[in-house]
């Protein structure tokens, strides 16, 4: 089958790849480009482990065709930190011990970054609702939500 050539931007860098028409963005990110930070959980859009941002919108990359990335801006977990400097959300995940196996963590962080971009001062209920599409089978959700709310407070303080 003829391959499709896709030109896209990933974490600010112009990128080209070849894919077939059935391949998901998740498959190309992990297996084609070697960006394995985005995790594969269910591949059916139910767990959020594969969350990325495409043109500003949080999406499960297992449900996006790789060919749909043509001409778009894709942001993955690899682009979240500023070099070695962790974001407040990443730092708070560490400080709260909000991970165990880590499979869900990149998806949670990508989603939480988007939450705090849209709503810098979420209530606990708002944070839980926004992150309801991300599942964790290890930690439960309390530490994750506390990490996100504390990161929001740190970010508000930094901006003040």
Residues that bind ligand FES (CB under 6 A): 40-43, 45-50, 60, 62, 99-104, 136-139
Give whichever of 3 and 137 is closer to ligand FES, judged by the CB atom.
137
Distance CA(91)–CA(17), nearest Å, equals 33
Closest approach, Cβ 160 to ligand FES, in A, equals 32
- Give dist(CA 54, CA 68) in Å, integer: 10
CB of 107 to ligand FES, least distance (A): 8
CB of 159 to ligand FES, least distance (A): 29
Q: How far is the CB of 122 from ligand FES (least distance, A)?
A: 20
The first and second tokens of residue 157, run together, are 């303080």
Nearer to ligand FES, 3 or 22 (CB): 22
Shortest Å, Cβ 158 to ligand FES: 27
Nearer to ligand FES, 30 or 113 (CB): 30
Q: How far is CA 53 from the centre of its chain?
A: 7
Of 38 and 87, nearer to ligand FES (C-beta) is: 38
Nearest residue (CB) to ligand FES, 8 versus 134: 134
């Amino acid at each position: 089958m003829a391959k499709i050539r896709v030109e896209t931007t990933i974490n600010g860098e112009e990128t080209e790849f070849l894919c077939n028409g059935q391949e998901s963005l998740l498959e190309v990110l992990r297996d084609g480009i070697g960006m394995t930070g985005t995790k594969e959980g269910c591949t059916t859009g139910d767990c959020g482990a594969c969350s990325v941002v495409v043109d500003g919108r949080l999406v499960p990359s297992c449900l996006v065709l790789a060919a749909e990335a043509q001409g778009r801006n894709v942001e993955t977990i690899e682009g979240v930190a500023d070099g070695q400097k962790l974001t407040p959300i990443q730092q708070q995940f560490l400080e709260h011990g909000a991970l165990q196996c880590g499979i869900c963590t990149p998806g949670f962080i990508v989603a939480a970054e988007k939450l705090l971009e849209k709503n810098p001062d979420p209530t606990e209920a708002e944070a839980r609702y926004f992150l309801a599409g991300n599942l964790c089978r290890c930690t439960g959700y309390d530490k994750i939500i506390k990490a996100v709310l504390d990161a929001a407070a740190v970010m508000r303080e930094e901006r003040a």
